[in-house]
Amino acid sequence: MAEVRSSTETRETWTSNRGFIFAAIGSAVGLGNIWRFPGVAYESGGGAFLIPYLIALVTAGIPILFLDYSIGHRFRGSAPLSFRRMWRKSEALGWFQTALLFVISVYYAVIIAWSLSYFYFSFGNKWGDDPATFFTEDYLHAADPGVSSELVAGVAWPLVGVWVAIIAILALGIAKGIEKVNVIGLPLLVLGFSALVIRALTLPGASDGLNALFTPDWGALTDLNVWIAAYSQIFFSMSIAFGIMISYASFQRRKANMTSSGLVVGFANSSFEILAGIGVFSTLGFFAHEQGVTFDNLDGLTGPTLSFITFPAVISEMPGSAIFGALFFGSLAIAGFTSLISLVIGVSVAVQEKFGLSKEVAAVAVGIVAAAVSFGLFATTTGLVALDTVDQFANNIGIVVSAIAMCVIVVWIARTIDPLRRHLNMVSTFHVGKWWIPVIGVYAPIFLTVMLVQKVHDLIVNGYEGYPAWYIGVFGWGTIAFTIVFTAVFTLIGWGGRDDPDFRAWPDLDSPSTERRTEPKGANR
Ligand code: PFF
């Protein structure tokens, strides 16, 4: 384990650039790639969706990823500490991002628990010939929107396993825990998922599915909602503006090629997304073919329904179904798990730094609180609806607010965008041009604000999925209220003596000599 020591503190680092890249890809590639992207693309113009998607990648995804990296790498802390070092008053933004990580982690873990159950169910087609009833009634015992304290055993047991594993890995730390899991998990995922895609492509009807996914509906490009879907997908999928890429970059050694790694991570994530689209839609093409219907007559092509109802139905019709099912649900579990690690470590490092705890104590404390919420809200008979609602609000409102605030603070208030650009360029081989500044300072906040207004308006006027208004108030808007209270509480708590006044950012941006690129001995963090 490599460490840069200072007299007062040590900061763990990834053992190599490869370790960092694997962990960052492990965070990005997750449930968002496998179960969200294919359906969103299909509903938002098929092949034509790739245009807004790629534009979102280049105009927001990569630039904001670079922004996250530059903040974390220069200020060497979790989101709250890094923002605080950048401009004291922006610590609150770091806590807002941490609140979002917490909220997402508590339901994200539950989907991984479902995937583990379904991995097991694959051996023997346990869902029988009515996977919809099996999922909602037999497995989840799902009740109408409401609040229930009745735990569902089939969800709770795998969920115990997920949280115990997360706490153990976090307590092992960056190099021995997180990096190791990603270095093993990512190749396993790529191998398993590639095997699934190859099998899917050889199924009868696969080409109909691919045509449905890739045939462009150009009219979709004039629909603002399609563009909103593309930007939301990019944020969630790349794990940007959540503060986690700030933390991951803060564990990079000071001499590290940040932008090149960012390009690798961004393109790897999108490639996996397209691979997932190909795998999922070839499989669905086979389903339409087996049922003798055209593709347009298929329903249930997004979110939980796609993975836990439609897919099991297809798997049942396939020769060699157990292996195919195991590959699909195993991939979902691994991809989700490496992302969940990043969600929880983001919270745990923030708490560790603020309260001066050891990483083990922080991991256990944060893990236990998150697990309790995860069980109480989402492993119960009302968990499915709660999960769907919280996800909708955290991802469409929370993350967009976070991204806008980050861009505005960095460019217009703290005015650190140019130093951050110089930082990236001093340590990296791929240089960020001046174009970055108007993209972060003007284009992104304007576009994201339009997107936010449209989404909030839509949720106020139309509600969500026909759920009762009181329910949307408590679980939807309540989620937003929770993030605000969380932010206020953690920002207002003092740092005690744990704030490090001796922190020196490196490299020194004003010294033009090449010596500055040599990391100073004893540099703190
Ligand atoms: N990027 C993950 C996915 O595509 O499923 C989700 C995610 C992980 C979002 C970590 C945010 C985050 F900080």
Residue 247 Cβ inside 6 Å of ligand 1? The answer reads no
What's the CA-to-centroid distance between 163 and ligand 1, angstroms?
A: 17
- How far is residue 475 from each of residues 25, 95, 370, 388, measured CA to CA in Å? 31, 20, 17, 10
What's at 433, amino acid-wise?
Answer: G
Alpha helices in 356-475 (DSSP H): 359-373, 383-393, 399-408, 417-427, 436-438, 444-462, 469-471
Residue 343 Cβ inside 6 Å of ligand 1? The answer reads yes
What's the CA-to-centroid distance between 28 and ligand 1, angstroms?
A: 5
Instruction: State residue 499's pLDDT score.
Output: 79
Give the residue, out of 102, 111, 237, 345, with the most ligand 1 atoms within 8 A of its beta carbon, to mutate for a pocket test. Answer: 237
Asked if 167 and 341 count as a contact pair (C-beta separation under 8 A), the reply is: no
User: In sequence order, what are the residues at sequence separation of 6 or more whose Cβ sits closer than 8 angstroms to the Cβ of residue 167?
Assistant: 363, 364, 367, 368, 371
Atom of ligand 1 nearest to the CA of 238: 1
For every residue of 187-241, DSSP letters joined together read HHHHHHHHHHHHHHHTSTTHHHHHHHHHSB-GGGGG-HHHHHHHHHHHHHHHT-S
What's the CA-to-centroid distance between 237 and ligand 1, angstroms?
A: 6
Instruction: State residue 512's pLDDT score.
Output: 58
Residue 239 Cβ inside 6 Å of ligand 1? The answer reads yes
Q: Going residue by residue through the chain (525 aa), what tens digit of pLDDT does each one get?
A: 333 434 334 789 999 999 999 999 999 999 999 989 998 998 899 889 999 999 999 999 999 999 999 999 999 999 999 999 999 999 999 999 999 999 999 999 999 999 999 999 999 999 999 999 999 999 999 998 988 889 999 999 999 999 999 999 999 999 999 999 999 999 999 999 999 999 999 999 999 999 999 999 999 999 998 998 999 999 999 999 999 999 999 999 999 999 999 999 999 999 999 999 999 999 999 999 999 998 888 888 877 889 999 999 999 999 889 999 999 999 999 999 999 999 999 999 999 999 999 999 999 999 999 999 999 999 999 999 999 999 999 988 999 999 999 999 999 999 999 999 999 999 999 999 999 999 999 999 999 999 999 999 999 999 999 999 999 999 999 999 999 999 999 999 999 878 788 898 989 998 654 444 545 444 433
Whole-number CA gyration radius for the chain: 22
User: In sequence order, what are the residues at sequence separation of 6 or more whose Cβ sits closer than 8 angstroms to the Cβ of residue 103?
Assistant: 390, 394, 398, 479, 482, 483
What's the CA-to-centroid distance between 239 and ligand 1, angstroms?
A: 4
Residue 32 Cβ inside 6 Å of ligand 1? The answer reads yes
What is the set of domains in the chain, with CATH numbers? 17-518 (1.20.1740.10)
What's the CA-to-centroid distance between 416 and ligand 1, angstroms?
A: 26
Q: Which residue has the tokens 């055209």?
A: 294
Give the residue, out of 27, 106, 112, 242, with the most ligand 1 atoms within 8 A of its beta carbon, to mutate for a pocket test. Answer: 27
Residue 34 Cβ inside 6 Å of ligand 1? The answer reads no
Atom of ligand 1 nearest to the CA of 243: 13
Q: Would you give the DSSP letter of residue 496?
A: G
What's the CA-to-centroid distance between 509 and ligand 1, angstroms?
A: 32
The protein residue whose alpha carbon is closest to atom 12 in ligand 1 is: 239
Q: What are the backbone angles phi and psi of residue 5, rounded to the nearest 5°?
A: -100, 150
d(CA 374, CA 196): 30
Instruction: State residue 510's pLDDT score.
Output: 81
Residue 342 Cβ inside 6 Å of ligand 1? The answer reads yes
User: Half-sphere exposure (CA, 13 Å, Cβ side) for 139?
Assistant: 26
What's the CA-to-centroid distance between 244 and ligand 1, angstroms?
A: 9
What's the CA-to-centroid distance between 507 and ligand 1, angstroms?
A: 30
